[in-house]
Structure 1
Amino acid sequence: MRFRSDRWIGESPLCVRFRRLFELTENKSMFVADLLSIDSERWGEVWRWRRRLWQWEEELLDECRALLLDVSLNPNVSDSWVWLPDPSGGYTVRGAYSLLISQVPPVADYDLDLVWHKQVPLKVSVFAWRLIRDRLPTRTNLIARRVLSPDMSSRVADCGHPESARHLFLLCDTFGSLWHLVRDWIGCFGVDTDNISYHFLQFTHLIGGGAARRSFMQLIWLLCAWVVWNERNNRMFNHVVTPIPCLLDKIKLLSLVSKAHLLRWELPYSYIILF
């Protein structure tokens, strides 16, 4: 049984759950049995990297290490096939049919793939990755980590709600209205969901069409989220408030700069520093 590509721990193979690590590792064909020769405290060393990991990739590695610490391998027990939906009763056609008609197509991995867009800077993609995984330093997250006290949960727009990523980017009366302006600018209609991952997927496919249209919508969503986060930081740390219509203008300009950067147009330096 392969360590990364087979499902032997958790709900999915490690190459799916930790897709980024799987792309960067050199020893993709390692077997679970190979772990028997490694001390459990050193299981994080089974990865050999093509390059040095970035900080957010180190966080993924720590998450994988924590998962492996709870595993105990016994060399005297042979592997066997188990039907996971019913380990005691085993496989039946009726059970397989019930499983197929009750499944919901997974979207968690697809939305994380969408954050990597060739027309946006890497830091914007990393920001979106952290946003979808709820890793941004919002006030609710900082309170959960005991960085802030519970009485500091209100967000910068003073709307009376705790500043979570879900509220800040989707439900806030101030920043949430930006999505309506963006849709009016593009000329499309839709009903927003209050789940960030689903919102990203829904927005990307809002106007249908081919890959070029989906790529454009994907780009706009990433830039809109990036502008919201920067405006939030400006209001919190610099006490500078930009009107929402001006934020829409910034998204339009950033989308132009992103496309020009892809085509290697020469732009004034003042345009480039907007990133």
Structure 2
Amino acid sequence: MVIKSIYGREGGLGQNFSIPNSKKRITWHNIRKACNNTDELNLPFSSSFVKIIGLGDKTLFWKDRWLDNDGLCNTFRRLFQLEINKEALIMDRLKKDGNAWSPCWEWVRSPRGRTNSELDSLLGLLSRFNFDEKNFDYWKWNMLTNGTFSTNFLTKMIDEKLLVSTVPLQSETLRNHHLPQKIGIFIWRSRARRIPVRVELDKRGIDLDSVRCPVCDSDVETVDHILLHCPLRFMGSGFSLVRFE
């Protein structure tokens, strides 16, 4: 409810949605930004959540996106202007009549002219829509067949995209069956500069007191420094590091 009160019913996840600076909340803003970044990897994350309509008890008939991708209030603007209750739920506008759903409209005046054409188009869409009458309205994630959102599955999809697009010549690293998987991933992350050393954290806007190596303080803490050049980090450990190139 808090997010909806600030960003609107869709939580500011709709297309071309801008938030005034006075209403921005850093955490939710970063979540929205992460959604956009995922979309830019050609993973349709923002559009992967589908509203499944059951009893129509939690979905606004006109304003929520359930019958089309734009919301009926935008697709059928003339009809929406005639609607008396613009916050009507689906269950307010569609009633079960035997085995079929019948519309139950409340107009300011009866539709006529072009508005009648819009009404015919809307009724055509409704006649082809299937309701899940045994359940309440709920969200389904269509990237998995079971419809349940999985952070682990999404992370794997993102890693695969980054592996191919960012470091194309190293995609065999994670497919090398002669190495333990965690070692292959570590080698790839090292070459892609995805280890959270201080220089990389600073590039991502994390506020640090210093970017110098906290062990030897002789140079900035980069991936090469911690793995190859730090004189104190592996002193006495018995490790012998070699370059990945």
Q: Under TM normalisation by the shorter chain, which class is it?
A: 0.3 to 0.5
TM-score, normalised via structure 1 length: 0.29
Which of structures 1 and 2 has the bigger CA Rg?
A: 2
Larger strand share, 1 or 2: 2
Q: Which has the higher contact order (CA 8 A, sep 6+)?
A: 2
Larger helix share, 1 or 2: 1
